[in-house]
Amino acid sequence: MVARVHSAYVARVPGFEVVATVGNGAGALAAVSEHRPDLVLLDIYLPDMSGLAVLQALSGVDVLVISAARDVPTVRAAMRGGAINYLIKPFTADALTERLGHYADTRRRLTAIGPEARQDDVDRLFGTPAAAAPLPKGLSPATCALVADTLRDAGRDLSAAETAQLAGLSRVSARRYLEHLCAGGRAELRPRYGTAGRPEHRYRWLG
């Protein structure tokens, strides 16, 4: 019953399709061999073998652990086994949707990088905090944090003018801080092309 519920959660997420649902470790290994999915949602407590043993036996597939097991040795073993994330039961549909969205976004970033990655590309993929670039003369840490929070909390890309309005700054000041965040790898510049004239500069939070 729980497996059916989780399958329904996954099926509602755009871009995802459930290709098989099984109830034991042997079935999981067989289903992966047959369907070659991109992602496996794997429990730890299985009737015939530990999910950790299944994790070790899998190759060429990403694994998201979903389990009631919450002891640290099990979580550590899942991390060492290569699980991309770990979600403790019971969880909501929103919690699973968030993990799946992050997984899809990571795959898109990998595709967009091309044949070779730069260090800042890898840092963003692995969630490594970027080293803070030194503030140029005339910029303050407090205002930089304000602009960063404004861009992050917006949940979408912003222009310098929109950022300035939300943060209560001048457009020139907002643009200087946005450019600094881009230089440090915490934001990115995304030009938006219109029908004529120069493209509008849009800024998106990367973290």
Q: Are residues 17 and 103 in the same domain?
A: yes
Domain boundary among 113, 130, 162: 113
Contact call for residues 51 and 65 (beta carbons, < 8 A): yes
* Domain coverage including residue 145: 141-205
Q: Are residues 9 and 101 in the same domain?
A: yes
Q: Are residues 90 and 36 in the same domain?
A: yes
Report pLDDT for 175.
94
Report pLDDT for 137.
86
Q: Are residues 91 and 185 in the same domain?
A: no
Q: Are residues 7 and 95 in the same domain?
A: yes
- Please report, for the domain that includes residue 161, its CATH number: 1.10.10.10
Structure tokens at 169: 């700054």
Over residues 131-147, mean pLDDT: 82
Read off the amino acid at residue 27. Answer: G
Tell me: pLDDT of 207 over 80: no
Q: Are residues 19 and 87 in the same domain?
A: yes
CA separation for the pair 59, 37 (Å, rounded): 11
110 vs 65, which has greater pLDDT?
Answer: 65
Instruction: Give the residue from 100, 102, 183 showing the smallest Cα distance to 139.
Output: 183
Q: Are residues 109 and 146 in the same domain?
A: no
155 confidence band (pLDDT: 50, 70, 90) = confident
- Please report, for the domain that includes residue 104, its CATH number: 3.40.50.2300
Torsions phi, psi for 194 (to 5 deg): -100, -160
Report pLDDT for 123.
74
* CA distances, 12 to each of 8, 84, 90, 97 (Å): 6, 21, 18, 9
Tell me: pLDDT of 177 over 60: yes
24-56 pLDDT, tens digit each: 999 999 999 999 999 999 999 999 999 999 999
Domain boundary among 113, 132, 158: 113
**What burial class does residue 60 get, using C-beta atoms within 10 Å of its C-beta: 0-12 exposed, 13-18 middle, 19+ buried?**
exposed
195 confidence band (pLDDT: 50, 70, 90) = low
Residue 6 lies in a domain: yes
Q: Are residues 99 and 170 in the same domain?
A: no
Residue 184 lies in a domain: yes
Tell me: pLDDT of 128 over 80: no
29 vs 106, which has greater pLDDT?
Answer: 29
Residue 132 lies in a domain: no
Residue 120 lies in a domain: no
| Number of domains the chain is built from | 2
Over residues 85-104, mean pLDDT: 91
Q: Are residues 166 and 90 in the same domain?
A: no
Q: Are residues 6 and 107 in the same domain?
A: yes
- pLDDT > 70 in the chain, percent: 94
Sign of the alpha-carbon torsion through 38, 42, 47, 50: positive
Report pLDDT for 183.
85
Q: Are residues 16 and 105 in the same domain?
A: yes
Q: Are residues 14 and 109 in the same domain?
A: yes
